[in-house]
A and B are shown apart, each in its own frame.
Chain A
Amino acid sequence: MSSESEEPLASDASESNELGIIGHLETRRKFIKQVAGTSAVLAIGPHLVGSASLDQVTPTATPEGTSDLLKVNLKINGKSHALDVDPRVTLLDALRERLQLTGSKKGCDHGQCGACTVLVNARRINSCLTLAVMHEGDEITTIEGLANGDELHPMQAAFIEHDGFQCGYCTPGQICSAVALLHEGHANSDDEIREWMSGNICRCGAYPNILAAIKEAETKGRA
């Protein structure tokens, strides 16, 4: 379940691997993922079909609790990932559960908090309210794709410089949103920045420092 070049799902071999990992536990995250992944395999079932063009797929009543898997090629941070996904899988879940890109966070899962913000074709969106299969061919950038090797993106550096976070859970979404905000040209005043960052909620209340970080990144970007 976890590699980006997928084996056919739920073959006997891969399923027993999923179930037989107890001797190889490395981290809590990996353990949780493996347990969750196994459940997903069992729930989804092994139906593999081709790409979803209107010619090939005739909508029919599907058995309760299953959907046909679809092939999708996601281009994330410059790298292509071929996946077989249940059409119900959101882009956020594909990133986190299938591709181990766990920087994008699941906060509310209803498009209200912004923790899942990623850039698609250079525009910020909520990855929790879009399906992975909708993004064939799109250029997706997540928080993992902003730095240039070991060199932080200027917005990442500014968030550290100004303590633009406390617990850090909303931070990847805040930073992706802030990068897009500068690109959109909406950093002309404190009020404008606040308004255009309103889709990213911070429960710790780090807003003054987030504002300071964005202003610094904006100033340095112009210098």
Chain B
Amino acid sequence: MNPFTYVRAEDANQAVTAVSGKPQSKFLGGGTNLIDLMKMGVETPNGLIDINRLPLAQIEELPNKGVRIGAMARNSDVAEHQLIKTRYPVLSQALLSGASPQLRNMATVGGNLMQRTRCYYFYDPAFPACNKRKPGSGCGALDGYNRIHAVLGQGEQCIATHPSDMCVALAALDAVVHVRGPNGERQIAFGDFHRLPGNTPERDTNLGPDELIIAVDLPAIPFAVRSHYLKVRDRASYAFALVSVAAALDLGSNNEINAARVALGGVAHKPWRANVAEKKLIGQEANENTFRVAAEAELAAAKGYKYNSFKIELAKRAIVRALSNVAAMG
């Protein structure tokens, strides 16, 4: 691990001031990803600002019946919170499907948004080519072992996937990210927070270098009580998703779909909101055929590589399964 200075911030303004103008400094939350990447030599900050003491861990109801989750709330506390379990079960399930109990006790909501890809070629500097780690060096995965890589929204520069489960649920729920910088606060719609690789795969998010995530707001979505997170992986537990689906349905009395939320994990550089599938679902009867048509439409533009083409059919079946599970909730 490279040497760095360590300071502990007591409030958000202090933290923002400490990082301002120091692009080589980083905020330190739960550390579950950052410290690991520093051990690997992938992240080499020369300063860490410990934000674990910031008073930003509350989970509270908003006047509009939405819920605000403080950026420092631990993944385990969010997953077990009554407001989340009852109103947004998809988020609770997504969190509990990720990592291990120990890691969930450490990992924060803000840190989860900032997780970096688990692409092998990014995570191990012994591989010379990775445009995300070293811009301009190429992509080792493109012609390498690309079983866990993207099939949607990728480019020739980078085919990495975003590793988070939580963020897939947040994408489906239209969450809003509150951030604070030297010039005050701003809000970022969840779909605009993470980026597709394009020509700048080194940038995972649209967060500024001196901006701190303060909170994540969940809007009131009454039908989200009928929601579900389906995760497909190589082991029964404690593994990253090959494909995952966050789904919610608003069904009318005649089983017609009034509204639908579908987002995919494990398939793209960012949590993938399935807008095409959602449009196909609206106004249709909730049944397996409808779900299959929507899944086919969403994956129509998918492109597979040597080892990951299986993900395209897997994603379609996972969409159908997740929506069927939601419809069966009655």
Binding site for B on A (CB under 8 A): 52-54, 57, 59-68, 70, 86-88, 90, 109-111, 114, 117, 123-126, 129-131, 133-134, 136, 177, 180-181, 184, 186, 194-196, 198-200
Contacts and interface: CB of A to CB of B under 8 A. Distances in A.
A59 B100 contact: no
What's the dominant secondary structure at chain A's contact region? loop
A54 B18 contact: yes
A124 to B, nearest CB: 5
30 contacts: A52-B6, A54-B7, A54-B8, A54-B10, A57-B5, A61-B46, A62-B5, A63-B3, A66-B3, A67-B3, A67-B4, A87-B4, A88-B1, A90-B35, A111-B36, A114-B100, A124-B105, A126-B106, A129-B32, A130-B31, A130-B35, A131-B28, A134-B31, A134-B50, A134-B52, A177-B102, A186-B101, A196-B101, A198-B101, A200-B100
B6 A198 contact: no
A59 B3 CA distance: 11
Nearest to A70: B6
Nearest to A54: B7
Contacts of B5: 57, 59-60, 62, 67-68, 87
Contacts of A130: 30-31, 35, 106
Nearest to A87: B6
B181 interface: no
A62 B48 CA distance: 13
Interface residues of B, number: 35
B102 A124 contact: yes
B4 A62 contact: yes
Contacts, number: 110
Query: Would you list the 10 A-B pairs with minimal beta carbon distance, nearest first?
Result: A199-B100, A87-B6, A59-B47, A198-B237, A67-B3, A59-B5, A198-B238, A123-B105, A88-B1, A199-B102
A131 B46 contact: no
A111 B103 contact: yes
Contacts of A67: 3-6
What's the dominant secondary structure at chain B's contact region? mixed
Contacts of B4: 62, 67, 87-88
A59 to B, nearest CB: 4
A88 B14 CA distance: 22
B32 A88 contact: no
Nearest to B45: A59
Given A87-B48, A124-B101, 7 more contacts: A54-B8, A59-B22, A66-B3, A87-B4, A90-B35, A195-B237, A199-B99
Contact of B6 (A60, A125, A131): A131
B25 interface: yes
A181 B101 contact: yes
Given A60-B5, A65-B3, A129-B106, A110 B101 contact: no
B282 interface: no
Interface string B31-69: 110011001000000111010100000000000000000
B129 interface: no
B9 interface: yes
Of A54, A64, A177, the most chain B CB neighbours within 10 A belong to A54
Nearest to B10: A54
B3 A88 contact: yes
A124 B76 CA distance: 11
A1 B105 CA distance: 31
Contact of A198 (B36, B100, B105): B100
Contact of A110 (B36, B47, B52, B76): B36
A141 to B, nearest CB: 14
Contacts of B1: 88
A19 B219 CA distance: 63
A134 B304 CA distance: 43
B69 to A, nearest CB: 18
B8 A110 contact: no
A186 B237 CA distance: 15
Nearest to B1: A88
A129 B48 contact: no
Nearest to A138: B52
B10 to A, nearest CB: 8
A131 B31 contact: yes
Contact of A129 (B7, B8, B31): B31
B105 A133 contact: no
